[in-house]
Structures are given as C-alpha cells and as structure tokens.
Structure 1
Amino acid sequence: MSAWAAETLPRLAARQPALWLLALLIGIIVGHAAVAFYLGLTLLERHVLRIGAFGASDLPWLLILAVPALGGLGVGLLLQFAVPEKRPLGIPDLIAARAVGNGQVGPRGAILNALLALLALGTGASAGREGPVAHLGGGLASIWSGLLGLSPNASRTLLGAGVAAAVSASFNAPIAGVLFALEVVLRHYALRAFGPIVVASAAGALVARMYLGEYPAFVIPSYDLVQSTEYLAIFALGLVCTLVAAGFIHLVKLCERLASELDPPLWLRPAIGGALVGLIARAVPQVLGVGYGVADAALKEEFGWGLLAGLLLAKILATAITLASRLASGVFSPSLVMGASAGGLFGLLLGELFPGAVTSPGFYAIIGMGAVSAAVLGAPISTALIAFELTLNYETAIALLLAVSVSTVMTRSLLGHSFFLWQLERRGIDVREGLHLTHLQRVRVHDFMRPVDTPPALTEGMPVLTRSDTLGRAFTLLEEGGRDAIPVTTIGEEARIVGIVTYADALRAYNRALVESDIEANR
C-alpha cells in the first residue's frame, strides 16, 4: 500500500457514509456466517445425537455417554495445540476488546473458536451458540478494521456492527441485535455508532430470513392476563428467577474452583466435562445441546412437574460443568431453558393454588425465560427484546419487562456482577465502575512516554516501566515513592533506558483518554 493510501484510506473509511457501507458489507458477511453455523449445528445435532425436544432418549446409553466425551477430547486437543488463549472465546472477549483493546478481535481465533463450538455443541455440550457466533461476527468485522487501518473508535463501531449482525441473524431479532451490541459490548448509545449498527443488524436479519424464513424461533399462542393482580405473581416470578440465575452463577464458580484444584491436563479437561454431561443426560437427555427444542416444548406446556423440575436442576448442573471444563462458552440458550423450566413450574404451582384464576403455565414459561437470561447476562433491555422477538407475543411485553427488571436488579444486588462481568474480573478487567478504570488498563506506556537521546545508566533496584506496561502501573509506581519520573526500559537481560515517564505525562494521557471516550460515547 502506498504512503498516500495508507494515510487516506483510514480517514475516508472512518467517515459516517463509509462506515455505513462497511457495516452493510459486514452485516451481509456475518449473516451468511451465522446461517452457515446454524445449518452446520443443526446437521450435527440431527445426525450425531438426534437431539430433539425430548433429547437423545432414543440413542443407546453408551452413545449418550461416549459422544460428549469424545467431542470434549477433540475440543481439548484443539485448545492445547491450536488456541493461544487455551479456552473457548465469547462475549467477554468482545467486551474486553472494546474496553481495554483497540476494538478488534483476531479473525483467525474467531473462526477457529466457531469450529470448536460446532464440535462441542454438535456432540452434546450444554451451552449456547450465540456467544461463539457473536464472537465470530466481531472477528469478521475486525478483518476490515485491520485492512483499512481504522482508528480504535471506528474499529469499536464496526465491532458492534459485527456483533449486532450475528445476534440479529441468530435470533431473527434485528432490534434486539442493535440493543445487545450497544448495551453489552459498546456500553453506550452514541448516534455515531447507532446508525452503522442498525444497518448491519438489519442486513444480518435479512440474510437469515432469506435462507431460514421469517418465522419466530418459538411459535406460541397469544396470552392475556386473567386479572391484573397477576402482576404480583409476575413480580414473585422475578424473585424466583433471581434465585435460579444467582444459583447458576454460583455453581459455575464452584465448578471452576474445583476444576482448578484438580488441575487435569488441558487436553483432558473438556473430555472429563463431556463425560459428566453424558452421565447427567443418562437421567435427563434433554440437557444435551443448545436446547431450543426443549425450551419450545416447555413453552407449549408439553412437560409435567417432574420433567420440568429435573430439567431445571440438570440443565443448571450440566451447563456449569460445560463452562468450567472449557468445553464451550455460550450461556444464553441454556439460560432460556432454565428460565422456561422455572417459569413453567411456577405457572403449574399457581394453577394448582388458584385454578382458573391465573394464565396458563406457558405464559409464565415465557416470562421466566426472559427473566433468567437477563439476570445471567446482565442485559435487561436487549434480553427482553430478544424474548419478545423470539415469540412475537406483544401481550407478554409488560409482564416480561417487570420480571426482567426484578431479576436483573436483584441478581446484581446479590452478586455485584453479571456472568460476563465476573468472567472479565477473573482476567483482571473491571468494567463495572466505568471508563475511568478501563483507561488505566487500556492506555500503554508507549502511548505517552518521552524518548531520550542520551539515556542515563540503569542502576540496580531502580523501579522501571516497559513500553507495554499500563497507565495504571505507571501511576502506581509514580505514587508509591512520590516520584516525579520513572525510566522506561527495554525487556531482556541487557535492558537499557529508552524513555521516561513523568507524573504530568501520565496525568495528561489519562485526561486525554477520558475526553476521547466521552466524545465517542456522546457524539
């Protein structure tokens, strides 16, 4: 690329009309990728485990045990030898790319992660397809950001566009795709980002409808509340869903801690998880796979007390094991199954206590589905819209918003974080308190250091920084001893001073990052 092109193309691509065109292209590409993922997964589910609404109960028990374990072994070998991160990737990695990265995720890693997810989910892992597909959308969008040398701001906008297109195509839910990208990944609603993300989401949905049709994921009857006092029951269901979501997140933490203490070889860890999921499926075969057919059956009131209760407990346990064993990473689909089971049970109980005075259990299954998934993801607005667009049942909208609000607020009060934010905190990334903390992790010393022509000698015991250290570390070292400046050195045995960082330099870099992020979030 010529010097003129290298300087001009990023500037042209960052302008709004060009971003809209890029977003349209990304939406079309990601829409096709999401459809391909869906068709590939459907093919595997139908021909490997023959998963349906009632699970894989027609398969020999030995296959139900062996197939998830063998799939886990394949995932483990790929994690060991082909995946640098040594774990499946998902929504938290997109949030991290926005918060402390340059707004891009590696396309190669995203494509490989999608193949890992196909292998895991197609052989029975109890997880969701939306996380891997959203990460794939972000990776495909990042190809264009990298090729055109876009600024971090423009790259983050296109990252959101890729995520929106992936969610939109996966759920046939273009409105929810837009709000998910803004609420969960970008965490702002700036008009500059809104337009391209809408374009990409609409394009992704149109591509999916072209191949898969315009029908909602769940076709259910229309419901009307029998009486307005049922809103008290819906409030109570929100509290029940809080317990389900919080219990699930706690169990994932417990399984993660247990897996870390046992510390099996990485290549074997997913296989152990797959074997345990297979054992659970011997008793409750409905836990295998993504679970859309199971959720649909729960919404249509095809399950009784015993099966709903067993499914709720088994799905929570199987999904926690799947995540802790690094077999797969998606949590949205399992949370739909958990919520539909909890809501269906709640509706059956109300029907027994107040026969003829409450709406049918299928209505409460819809509400539970949205409330649990919103509490787990920490995304009340987009999750409520996803549940609405999945069912196209407007009569449930007000009830759904009430239950979602209760479950999300109460889960945040109990745990202090959503599932995604907990995963980020384990990696040392805190986005709960706002951008002023993420800038301390995003800005690097090489962004604001002063080069030195004649470096002084490096004395033993002198505190030093490297080019890749964060702004937060620079502030820590500067403030520890009340220092005015700290040298920046190369890495290695023969380290030498290449620059210097003063407290004023660090403060200016921090203020500049705050101003730039404020402009990005409000323009």
Structure 2
Amino acid sequence: MPYIKKFKIPLLWVRRHTSDREFMLLSSVLVGLTAGLAAVVLKTLVHYIHLLLAYGNRLLDQPYWLVVFPLIGILLTVFLVRVMFNGKIGRGTANILFNISQKSSMVERHKMYSHVLTSGITAGFGGSAGLESPIVVTGSAIGSNFGRDYHLNYRDRTLLLASGAAAGIAAVFNAPIAGVLFAIEVLLIDISISAFIPLIISAVVGALCSKLILNEEILFYQEQQEIFEAGHIPFYVLLGLLAGMISVYYSRMAMRVEELFEGYQDKVYRRAIIGGILLGLLIMLFPPLFGEGYGSIRLLESNQAELLLKDSWLGFFGTNEWLILGFVGALALVKVFATTITIASGGNGGNFAPSMFVGASTGFFFARLINMLHISNLPINSFSMVGMAGILSGVMHAPLTAVFLIAEITGGYTLMIPLMIVAASSFALVKYFEPYSLDTKKLAQKGQLLTHNKDRTILRILQIRHLIERDFQEVAPEATLGELVQVIAHSRRNLFPVVNANQQLEGVILLENVREIMFKADKYDSVKVKELMQRPPAVVQHDDSMADVMKKFDESGAWNLPVLEGDEYLGFVSKSSIFTKYRKLLIKTTNV
C-alpha cells in the first residue's frame, strides 16, 4: 500500500542514522501505539455489537435469541476464516510461542488484523470467550512484523513481539504492569534488565491509548470497597486451594471438550452449527455466559448476584439465598464448557476473561457460603477479586500477572497480601497436577514449548531436518570390496552407509574396521560389502525431538547417527553439527 511505503521510508532513514538501542526505543513506542489502538478498536467493536444485540432492543428478552446470536457469530467467524484466511488463523498464545521457537519469531502479517475481526464478531455476538488472547496475538504480530520490516535480528524481533503483546494486555485492562509481567512470564524465556525498557514503554503507550480513548463502561474496572484484615488469612489460603482445584478441573475439562470436536476438523460448518447450538442452550440456562462476562463479574463483586438470575428461567423460583449461591457455583463450573465450545467449534477467543469470570464466581461462592454458615463474616468484594487472581494463576500459570492485573484493574493494592497468598496457593497446587498451562499443554506434548531452561529450550528449537548431512557416499550391500575401496578413495568421510535398491539402510561400514582388509587385493572380488557391514548403534527418525537424539548419542557413544524417514535412508546427523548450531542459537537468543 502506498501510505505504508511513505511511512516506512522515513523510518528506514531513522534506522540508518540512529544506534540500535535508540531505534529499539522508538520502535517500542510505535509498536505500543499500534497495538494499543488495535485493542481499542477490538474493545469498541465488541462493546457496540453486544450493546446493539443484547441491550439496545432488549432482544435477549426472547430466549431463542440466546441460541441464534452465538450461532450466527460462530458461523460468521468460520466463514471469514475460510474465505479470507484460507481456513488457518492460528489461535491462542500457544501459537505465538510456536512462532518464537520454531519460526524465528516470524508471525504471519494477517494476524495484525485477522484476530481483531474474528474475535470481535465471536464475542460481540455472545461467544463465551475472552478478547485478551486475540489481542496478544495481534500485538505480537504487530511487533514481529515491525522487526521484520526493519531487518532486526531474532533477539530484537522477539523483544518487539513481546512488547506488542504487553501493550495489548495493558490496553485491554489499562494495566501496564500486568502487561509487562505477562510478556515476561508467558512469552520471554530469558530477559536482561535492558530489555525491560522497551516492554515498559510499549505497555505504558498501550495503556495510555485505552485510557484516553475508552471510557470505564468499555474498560473493565471495579473499585475495591473493603480493607484487608489479617484475621481472614486462613480463609484466603482455603480459597487459594479451592481455586487450584477448580483450575485443574478447568484445564482438564477444556482438553476433553476440545477432543470431542476434533472429529469435525474437516466439517467446519457442521462443527460450527453443533457448537453454536450447544453454546446457545447453555446460555439459555445461564444467561451470564453470554459474551466476555465482565458485567457479571461487576455484579458479583458488588454483591448483587441476584441480578444474574433476572433473565434466567431460575428467576421464576425467586431470589432465595441458597438458589443464588447454587447458581453462582454452577456458573463457575459450566463456564469452561461455554468457552471451550465457543473456541473449539470455530469461534475466536481465549481463556483469560473466562478465567477471571470463574475466579470471581469462585471467590463469591466461597465467601457467601462461609457467611451463610455463620462461620465468619467475609468481605464478598475482596474475595471475588482475589478469586480472579487464583484462577488466572492456575489456568494461565502466570501468578505474577494475575496478582498485579487484579491489583491494577481494581485499585486494590491493599489486597496485595491476599492476592499473593491465593495466587501462590493455587499455582502450587495446579503445578503438582498440571505441569503446563492450558494454552501450552499441547506444545509441551509435541516438544515445541519454550522453557526457562536455556539449554532445554535451544534443544527444542533445533530440528533434525535442518541438520541432516547428505555427503556420505552410499554403497550397495552386493558391492565388492574392490568397489568399496574405490568409494573410500574418493571420499573424505570415514563412515559409509550401506543402502539397498529401495533406499533402505541395511548397515554401516567404518573405515577403521576395514582398514586391514582393504589392502588385500586378492579379496577385492570375493568379499562383499554385506559381509563387512555392521548395524548402526542407533538410528534417528527425522521427526525425533533433539532431546531424544542427544539421549541416543549419549547411550550409543557414537559421533554420527543415520537419519531415517520410516525405513528410508536420508543421511546422517553428527554431534559436531548439533554443537555448532547450538552455539549459534545460544548467541542468537542470549540477553533478550
């Protein structure tokens, strides 16, 4: 586009006439501004679609619209993804982690806008998913493509990617500290002090965008009303453990629901219709499941849970306290189904806002139950707030992000101690049962997950197919010793694969093992290669993880191992090539 080129030319001039550090600081401002504006557009889009459908004409007074609207939203999303993005959009934070580890932090350009469009439609029409994950993908794509356009290296490109994500989170919640911590806890595997500056700048710029443009009706903000009392600490510990158990339940049920929809991967419209109808039926039973759910969270924190029953069929039974308590408890359990159905059936969204919804419901349920049993008099507002931190910490495996996010969006810094208690307790319990977060579990199973262990991370980035050496001279098993000597004479290798006519590896010949017989000319015609070969100490499959490959090297004591694809011989992989590539990646990824 001409206007993009006009914008790019002066920045290229700046790039040439400034230091790398100065250009990174400028880049962090521009990335933060762009990601912040993208978040503003997304929140505004969802707000006004939801306002029009749900409240403008009170269409939700007619129960069948609760089924129709989410179904329409999911079908529209699936249609747009297939028509505009070839059926592939790459949902979730896990997709960005995959880009970092496997694609050198290169994120597809269409993700700078595709997730804003599709998630806006999904959530706007009542899809029970959050917008935070799509804005993380959007911000990451903005940062990544900025780095690519201006020819930044992997380290700086990754930092701008994380800066875009930080700005997106900061803008969605007007919470810059949480944005920075999210980038550090979830996206960056290793970070130096100097890298904090671009993250902070981007997060602040993103937060300012939402602060200046959006109002509190669109932004989620809930003012703290109660003061922390030390006598409530035992109850906060119990809430943290309860939040941990529900987080485990959330993660495992989400995986099971996803598995149910995997059989419809090639039948996208059928999957969308089934998912949309199921979601609509859930929303008919539990209207607070409609959309992101921040309005319901406000009601819970202000101890007005009876209003949640207003559009529910359960409202016909009155506002009995036990009925309200049971309804809120049920919301905490069924939200995971609504969210996972929304995403698995083709909608676009994430688990960030749903985790907060479940957390607020859990905190409210716990405090209200204790009060109704006359065990103590707990502040509903405070326990609803810290409950959000507990579930966020458990589901997302990001306790610091959870603590400071809730503190920022509620202005509840006096609750820092209970926030830490609940987040830490929940995280510790979840970590015992679920080593990986909901978003990263599948990546971990495939061996593609970034970790804070630098060695392990680099081994996961390395891929066998990029390290195969194919300059080994092949010999046939029926070849004679004389033919083998001719091959040896024209090779600089001391290892020779024995490969048959079907390109299958039958064995290997080591130069040191034939050194004596190769000088006996009288045996050149009588001795066959198959009599001299030996089995390789181990073989590597082309899709083996590098951790498995290194284990085979250690166990076999070999320096070179053959690589196969099934039974077909491809080449060899050597320790020296792995170590060389490892050193290059170590330099490349150091001090992000």
Gaps of 5+ in 2: 306-323, 476-496, 506-538
* Whole-angstrom distance in 2 between the partners of 1:85 and 1:435: 34
Task: Give the 3 Å change call, closer, same or farther, for CA 207–403 of structure 1 in structure 2.
Answer: same
* Whole-angstrom distance in 2 between the partners of 1:422 and 1:447: 25
Match of 1:509 among 557, 577, 581: 581
Contact 1:347 1:362 survives alignment (8 Å)? no
Q: Is 2:354 the partner of 1:334?
A: yes
Amino acid at match of 1:295: I
1:96-144 deviations in whole A, cap 9, x for unaligned? 2223331221121342232111121111111100000111001111221
* Whole-angstrom distance in 2 between the partners of 1:496 and 1:407: 49
1:207-250 deviations in whole A, cap 9, x for unaligned? 1111025897323343123x523100000000111121111111
The equivalent of 1:461 in structure 2 is 504
- TM-score normalised by L of structure 2: 0.77
The equivalent of 1:418 in structure 2 is 437
Contact 1:10 1:149 survives alignment (8 Å)? no
Contact 1:230 1:358 survives alignment (8 Å)? no
Alpha-carbon deviation of 1:488?
A: 9.0
SS of residue paired to 1:150: coil
Task: Give the 3 Å change call, closer, same or farther, for CA 295–281 of structure 1 in structure 2.
Answer: same
The correspondence of residues 56-455 of structure 1 with structure 2, limited to 5 A, is: 58-83=60-85, 86=88, 88-213=90-215, 217-225=220-228, 227-261=229-263, 265-303=267-305, 304-354=324-374, 357-432=376-451, 434-444=453-463
* Whole-angstrom distance in 2 between the partners of 1:427 and 1:326: 23
Contact 2:122 2:349 survives alignment (8 Å)? no
Amino acid at match of 2:332: L
Q: Which moved more, 1:208-217 or 1:164-173?
A: 208-217
Task: Give the 3 Å change call, closer, same or farther, for CA 154–470 of structure 1 in structure 2.
Answer: farther
- TM-score normalised by L of structure 1: 0.86
Contact 2:390 2:422 survives alignment (8 Å)? yes
* Whole-angstrom distance in 1 between the partners of 2:118 and 2:390: 29
The equivalent of 2:24 in structure 1 is 19
Q: Which moved more, 1:167-176 or 1:114-123?
A: 114-123
Task: Give the 3 Å change call, closer, same or farther, for CA 487–78 of structure 1 in structure 2.
Answer: farther
SS of residue paired to 1:358: coil
Task: Give the 3 Å change call, closer, same or farther, for CA 501–422 of structure 1 in structure 2.
Answer: closer
* Whole-angstrom distance in 2 between the partners of 1:254 and 1:487: 39
Alpha-carbon deviation of 1:464?
A: 9.0
Alpha-carbon deviation of 1:65?
A: 0.8
* Whole-angstrom distance in 2 between the partners of 1:11 and 1:169: 31
Task: Give the 3 Å change call, closer, same or farther, for CA 210–74 of structure 1 in structure 2.
Answer: same
* Whole-angstrom distance in 1 between the partners of 2:37 and 2:464: 40
* Whole-angstrom distance in 2 between the partners of 1:166 and 1:199: 12
* Whole-angstrom distance in 2 between the partners of 1:149 and 1:477: 38
Amino acid at match of 1:39: T
Alpha-carbon deviation of 1:516?
A: 4.5
The equivalent of 2:48 in structure 1 is 43
Contact 2:128 2:292 survives alignment (8 Å)? yes
Amino acid at match of 2:282: I
1:319-372 deviations in whole A, cap 9, x for unaligned? 2322333423311101111111110011111212337x4332121111111111
Give the alignment's Cα RMSD to 1 decimal: 3.4
Q: Give the structure with higher Rg (CA).
A: 2
Amino acid at match of 2:436: H
* Whole-angstrom distance in 2 between the partners of 1:305 and 1:334: 19
* Whole-angstrom distance in 2 between the partners of 1:254 and 1:187: 29
* Whole-angstrom distance in 1 between the partners of 2:548 and 2:77: 36
The equivalent of 2:529 in structure 1 is none
Task: Give the 3 Å change call, closer, same or farther, for CA 70–136 of structure 1 in structure 2.
Answer: same
Q: Which moved more, 1:508-517 or 1:71-80?
A: 508-517
* Whole-angstrom distance in 1 between the partners of 2:540 and 2:86: 29
Contact 1:67 1:124 survives alignment (8 Å)? yes
Contact 2:97 2:449 survives alignment (8 Å)? no
The equivalent of 1:34 in structure 2 is 39
Percent identical residues: 23
Contact 2:463 2:546 survives alignment (8 Å)? yes
Task: Give the 3 Å change call, closer, same or farther, for CA 75–222 of structure 1 in structure 2.
Answer: same
Amino acid at match of 1:374: S
Select the structure with the greater relative contact order (CA < 8 A; seq sep ≥ 6): 1
Amino acid at match of 1:397: M
Alpha-carbon deviation of 1:290?
A: 0.8
* Whole-angstrom distance in 2 between the partners of 1:51 and 1:475: 62
The correspondence of residues 478-489 of structure 1 with structure 2, limited to 5 A, is: 484-485=559-560
Contact 1:367 1:399 survives alignment (8 Å)? yes
Amino acid at match of 1:33: A
Alpha-carbon deviation of 1:268?
A: 2.6
* Whole-angstrom distance in 2 between the partners of 1:329 and 1:369: 18
* Whole-angstrom distance in 1 between the partners of 2:569 and 2:504: 14
Task: Give the 3 Å change call, closer, same or farther, for CA 277–12 of structure 1 in structure 2.
Answer: farther
* Whole-angstrom distance in 2 between the partners of 1:51 and 1:482: 72
* Whole-angstrom distance in 1 between the partners of 2:430 and 2:90: 25
* Whole-angstrom distance in 2 between the partners of 1:429 and 1:270: 29
Alpha-carbon deviation of 1:311?
A: 2.1
Contact 2:191 2:591 survives alignment (8 Å)? no
Contact 2:98 2:449 survives alignment (8 Å)? no
* Whole-angstrom distance in 1 between the partners of 2:555 and 2:268: 39
Alpha-carbon deviation of 1:262?
A: 6.2
Contact 1:27 1:199 survives alignment (8 Å)? yes
Q: Is 2:563 the partner of 1:520?
A: no
